[in-house]
Amino acid sequence: MRCRTKLGFTLVELLVVVLILGALAVVAIPRIGQSTTTAKINACETNVDLLNSQIELYYATGGSWPAALTDITGDINYFPDGAPVCAVDNATAYVYSGTTNRVSSHGH
C-alpha cells in the first residue's frame, strides 16, 4: 500500500481562512478610523492646554496678560517651532478671549 501525504490546502480550507480574515477586517477597519479621529481631537485639546500654559507663563514673567494671541504665538521664546495648528481642522484658528485670558476649545 502506498502512503498518501497531504501536500496542500483544500478549497474549503482556503475559503474558511478568507472568510475569517474578512470578518476581522469588518470589525477592525471602523475602529482604526475612529481612533484616528479621537487622536486628532486629543491633539487639538493638548494644543489648547499648551496655549493656556504659555499665556500663564507670559503673565508670570511680564506681569500683564497678552493683548492678542499673536503676542504669544509669534514669540519664539514661547513657541520656537511656530504656533500650534489644530490637528482636526488646519483652517480653524485658536481664539483668545481677553476677558478670561484663555484659549477655549473648538468644541470638536
Task: Name the one residue in this structure whose C-alpha cell is 474578512.
Answer: 22
Q: Which domain holds residue 65?
A: 16-103
β partners of residue 96: 103
| Count of domains observed in the chain | 1
Mean pLDDT of the chain: 88
Identify whether 40 is part of a domain.
yes
Instruction: Give the pLDDT confidence score for residue 70 in this predicted structure.
Output: 92
Nearest residue to 70 via CA among 87, 88, 95, 92: 95
Task: Report d(CA 95, CA 108) in Å as an integer.
Answer: 14
Instruction: Write the pLDDT tens digit of every residue in 38-82.
Output: 999 999 999 999 999 999 999 999 999 999 999 999 999 999 998
Identify whether 72 is part of a domain.
yes
Instruction: Give the pLDDT confidence score for residue 34 in this predicted structure.
Output: 82
Instruction: Give the pLDDT confidence score for residue 1 in this predicted structure.
Output: 59
Identify whether 5 is part of a domain.
no
The contacts of residue 73 (CB under 8 Å, 6+ apart) are 51, 79, 82, 83, 84
Tell me the HSE value of 1 on the side-chain side, using a 13 A CA sphere.
Answer: 3
Identify whether 97 is part of a domain.
yes
Identify whether 2 is part of a domain.
no
Dihedral sign for Cα 45, 88, 106, 61, please: positive
Instruction: Output 21 or 3, whichever has higher pLDDT.
Output: 21
Identify whether 62 is part of a domain.
yes
Instruction: Give the pLDDT confidence score for residue 53 in this predicted structure.
Output: 96
